[in-house]
Amino acid sequence: MAIATADPLTGTQPLTEAGIVRKVAWRLMPLIMVCYLFAFFDRINISFAKFQLQSDLGFSNVAYGLGASMFVVGYVIFEVPSNLALYRVGARRWIARIMISWGIATALMIFIRTEWHFYVLRFLIGAMEAGFAPGILYYLTLWFPASFRGRITSFMFVASAFAGILGAPVAGLILGGLNGVAGLAGWQWLFLAGGLPCLILGALVLTRLDDRISDARWLSAEEKDLLSSRIAHHNRDIGDHSLWGAIKQPGFLLVALVYFLLQVGSYGLNFWGPDLIKTASGGAAASVGFLTAIPYLCGAVSMIVIGRLSDASGERPKFVAGLAIAAAAGFFLAGLFDKQIVPLMIALALLGSGIVASIPTFWTLPAKLVTGVGAAGGIALINTLGQFGGIVSPVMVGWVKDLTGSTTPALYGIGCLCLVAAGLLLFAMPESLRRNDRSV
């Protein structure tokens, strides 16, 4: 869509929807991506610290799995209230508050000495970070038309892949190179590196983000009008529901179930990928870190490609289902080759291409159901229900490994759950979710 804004003789180019979206993306997405990179690193740094943490503090696999899961417990309890507060207070101030508070809580991890210290601080980090990801996802629906959200959401989640691509090697170098420096263990330096930069990023959010299109002084009046009208056009058949109204929408709870299943797979990779690589390779922390980056690199490439393809086709559920099937194949192959490093890395590359890329494509679905406060609370509730997968996955895999000495049975189980998610997406979704974005 294009509108003329000046006499052609002046050389002024007509405004286009794509041009304005590009301008908005360059303004908002770099900072959002960096913030999300640290948010995702905050979730997975515990997996990199696992070996040193268990060695120094004597934690069992069950204690580690429970502590890792306590993050999710705090997150899910406070997620919906946090996003409802964001809707009332405004994204700029609330997202900044989230980042500063979780950065402080993460840095405090250097003081843990007992299992209970571990559990309490992990819970606190989750509570402080609650609402960040769904808050950002809701924020993006205010700025980008539906036909662009696949690639825009993918760019946001590319940051999560880069948290693995860059975070894994950096974590390995910190764990190996700073261990013992200034009397701190490598895992303590790792938590400082994850927490303190968030204080600076929180301050940048306050100065760089705007709550609404109407607040953006860097857009002209014509640009604001065109962008607002396109978003309103895409939302014309979607009701502005309350949270309860959102829950009652056909397909809402089904979408939450799909996200739960995908998150079981995602956390399976995040928490146990380094453990699988360490066991198969016997390598040092730095080499394990570099190998762990491979699945996330494949996921980053897959995100960008699938984001563009899903925007072009508008067939969102089919793309998410295909990625879930790829993830299932990766889990099955990882279980089959868990002691052989080369085929294991091929399996993890396939797994990363599927499960890492499935998340941003999935998040184009909830905006088909709700807008307004229903979207703010509904997106948070879907994310909350999905995050229970982050409780089930690490505890289940840790319990199976302690019981059998192997992660293989748990990997097969997670692969089956990914297939269930694909089946629901292909055969159980209501018409509102099957609606092609290109037709609106």
CATH of domain 24-231: 1.20.1250.20
What is the mean predicted confidence (pLDDT) over 366-373? 66
Which stretch of DSSP H or E encloses residue 2?
strand 2-3
Helices (H), 314-338: 316-336
What is the mean predicted confidence (pLDDT) over 249-257? 83
pLDDT band at residue 303 under the 50/70/90 scheme? confident
Q: Does residue 405 carry a pLDDT above 80? A: no
pLDDT band at residue 277 under the 50/70/90 scheme? confident
| pLDDT given for residue 424 in this prediction | 93
Nearest in space to 363 (alpha carbons), one of 432, 270, 262: 262
Q: Tokens 């997975």 map to which residue?
A: 44
| pLDDT given for residue 87 in this prediction | 83
Q: Does residue 354 carry a pLDDT above 90? A: yes
What is the mean predicted confidence (pLDDT) over 241-265? 80
Collapsed DSSP state (helix, strand, coil) of residue 217: coil
Query: Residue 322 has which token pair?
Result: 């295909």
Query: Residue 412 has which token pair?
Result: 């097969």
What does each C-alpha distance from 53 to 50, 171, 258, 428, 436 come to in angstroms?
Answer: 5, 13, 33, 43, 48
What is the mean predicted confidence (pLDDT) over 43-65? 80
**184 Cβ neighbours under 8 A, 6+ residues apart:** 110, 178, 192
Query: Residue 127 has which token pair?
Result: 């509570």
What does each C-alpha distance from 58 to 55, 61, 183, 264 come to in angstroms?
Answer: 5, 10, 19, 27
| pLDDT given for residue 4 in this prediction | 43
pLDDT band at residue 29 under the 50/70/90 scheme? very high
**175 Cβ neighbours under 8 A, 6+ residues apart:** 48, 49, 52, 186, 187, 189, 190, 285, 286, 289
Q: Which residue has the higher pLDDT, 316 or 374?
A: 316
Which stretch of DSSP H or E encloses residue 15?
strand 15-16
- Residue 149: half-sphere exposure toward Cβ, Cα within 13 Å: 31
What does each C-alpha distance from 75 to 123, 256, 395 come to in angstroms?
Answer: 8, 16, 16
Collapsed DSSP state (helix, strand, coil) of residue 392: helix
How does DSSP assign 51-80, residue by residue? HHHHHHH---HHHHHHHHHHHHHHHHHHHH
| pLDDT given for residue 328 in this prediction | 96
pLDDT band at residue 373 under the 50/70/90 scheme? low
pLDDT tens figures, 61-99: 778 878 877 887 888 888 888 888 888 888 899 999 999
Query: Residue 73 has which token pair?
Result: 């417990």
| pLDDT given for residue 372 in this prediction | 58
| pLDDT given for residue 437 in this prediction | 58
| pLDDT given for residue 246 in this prediction | 64
Q: Lowest-confidence range among 139-153, 192-206, 225-239, 249-263?
A: 225-239
Query: Residue 177 has which token pair?
Result: 């190179």
What does each C-alpha distance from 404 to 46, 217, 232, 335 come to in angstroms?
Answer: 23, 60, 55, 14
- Extents of the domains making up the chain: 24-231, 242-439
Straight-line distance from the first to the last Cα atom of the chain, in angstroms, rounded to the nearest whole number: 13
CATH of domain 242-439: 1.20.1250.20
**371 Cβ neighbours under 8 A, 6+ residues apart:** 141, 235, 238, 239, 240, 241
Q: Please determine whether the domains at 24-231 and 242-439 fall in the same fold group of CATH.
A: yes
